[in-house]
Amino acid sequence: MQLNDIQHLAGRIAQNVERVVVGKRSEVELILVALLCRGHVLIEDVPGVGKTVLAKAVAKSVGASFKRIQFTPDLLPSDVTGVSIYNAQSGRFEFRPGPIVAQMVLADEINRATPKTQSALLEAMEEGQVTVDGVTHMLPEPFIVLATENPIDYEGTFPLPEAQLDRFLLRIAIGYPGRENEIEMLARQHRIHPLDELTQVIAASDLVDAQATVRSIHVSPLVAEYAVTLTEATRRHPDVLLGASPRGSLALYNASRARAAMAGRQYVTPDDVKVLAPFTLSHRIIPTPAARLRGASGTEIVRQVLASTPVPGAQPRSAAAAI
């Protein structure tokens, strides 16, 4: 697949999703970045802003098998991964796959499940496989988890552990729509929800081809070093108890390649890294207790790191001002 094909593919998906989710082009493009580099997305925001609708619209736009898991406190790991059932006729145990065995999985309200059930996703999200009764089953490709989470509802919820958060390529928020967009949303849903009429616009095989092309995008050593420098800086920040992991560097590296491909470029620029750093690193950071009391967040810490870390190839301000 050529770069122009990736631009066209991403544009078709974005336009299709925008038939349902109005005025959220940036958020849709971030999800497309994750799709193109085989990453998982955590959509975190208050109730009613369209988290689940956005995830379902993206899934319906891609011609891939789709399953939804409604996470609740009584959900068991086997309800996610599947179980082995004894077949009396064959005299053998047969694997009955759970909803995780799909190309695109919506993990709705993921923080309502217990940590034991949440851990059922770890192997699937990192290795693309599930192990049941000692037998490993490979998941179909592409395999993408789109999870939703309400950050303000603490009743009956379980915070996602660091190991779980670290497996999400991006964490994004949707936010409230603008006034005009909200009015347009009402008009579109006057007779029928546009999600009911949404159709797929690409095939799953097209997405797999696009993912292979993204892996060929060039990243110069200076830009790669910049991504690592930003990640390392989160570990040294005085307000940080636990900084971003090496998986964060890899997430930033891969996401930047996807963004470059969507822009029709064969190479990554420092701007790609800067734009994606808050979305790939902030959820991997644990502020110190004192910083949390002051209201410090991972996103704010990443912004401070970006402001204090020189961009490769950029002229110092004093030199630039003298020209």
**Among residues 168, 201, 234, which one ends one of the domains?**
201
229 and 273 Cβ atoms separated by less than 8 Å:
no
**How many Å apart are CA 133 and CA 230, to the nearest integer?**
41
Q: Are residues 141 and 87 in the same domain?
A: yes
> In which band, very low, low, confident or very high, does the pLDDT at 283 lie, cut at 50, 70 and 90?
very high
Give the number of other Cβ atoms within 10 Å of residue 238's Cβ: 8
281 and 235 Cβ atoms separated by less than 8 Å:
no
- Least reliable range by pLDDT among 38-52, 72-86, 142-156, 202-216: 142-156
Say which CATH number the domain at 227 has.
Answer: 1.10.8.80
**How many Å apart are CA 200 and CA 152, to the nearest integer?**
33
**How many Å apart are CA 83 and CA 98, to the nearest integer?**
7
What single DSSP character describes residue 97? E
> In which band, very low, low, confident or very high, does the pLDDT at 52 lie, cut at 50, 70 and 90?
confident
Is residue 118 assigned to a domain? yes
**Among residues 201, 232, 261, which one ends one of the domains?**
201
Q: Is the peptide bond before 142 cis (omega within 30 degrees of 0)?
A: yes
For 268-300, the three-class secondary structure string (H helix, E strand, C coil) is CCHHHHHHHHHHHHHHHCEECHHHHHCCCCHHH
Say which CATH number the domain at 108 has.
Answer: 3.40.50.300
- Whether 8 has a pLDDT exceeding 70, the answer reads yes
- Mean pLDDT of the region 155-178: 88
- Whether 134 has a pLDDT exceeding 90, the answer reads no
**Among residues 139, 168, 201, which one ends one of the domains?**
201
Could you give the number of structural domains in the chain? 2
- Least reliable range by pLDDT among 51-55, 97-101, 305-309: 51-55
> In which band, very low, low, confident or very high, does the pLDDT at 47 lie, cut at 50, 70 and 90?
confident
pLDDT value at position 318?
47
pLDDT value at position 320?
38
Question: Largest Cα–Cα distance in the chain?
Answer: 85
Q: Are residues 25 and 50 in the same domain?
A: yes
**How many Å apart are CA 230 and CA 156, to the nearest integer?**
36
Q: Are residues 134 and 227 in the same domain?
A: no
Q: What is the pTM of this model?
A: 0.89
> In which band, very low, low, confident or very high, does the pLDDT at 315 lie, cut at 50, 70 and 90?
low
Q: Nearest CA to 50 among 77, 28, 80?
A: 28
Q: Are residues 236 and 263 in the same domain?
A: yes
Q: Are residues 161 and 47 in the same domain?
A: yes
pLDDT value at position 277?
96
- Whether 288 has a pLDDT exceeding 80, the answer reads yes
Q: Are residues 184 and 303 in the same domain?
A: no
Is residue 179 assigned to a domain? yes
Q: Are residues 32 and 129 in the same domain?
A: yes
- Whole-angstrom CA distances from 73 to 114, 117, 296 are 6, 9, 30
Domain hosting 279: range is 217-310
Q: Are residues 197 and 222 in the same domain?
A: no
pLDDT value at position 273?
96
- Least reliable range by pLDDT among 31-45, 82-96, 209-223, 237-251: 82-96
- Mean pLDDT of the region 150-156: 71
Q: Over the stretch 93-114, which tens digit does the pLDDT of each residue have?
A: 888 999 999 999 999 999 999 9
Coarse DSSP helix, strand, coil percentages of the chain, rounded to the nearest 5 percent: 50, 15, 35
Q: Are residues 161 and 225 in the same domain?
A: no
- Mean pLDDT of the region 267-285: 95
The pair of structure tokens assigned to 79 is 């309800």
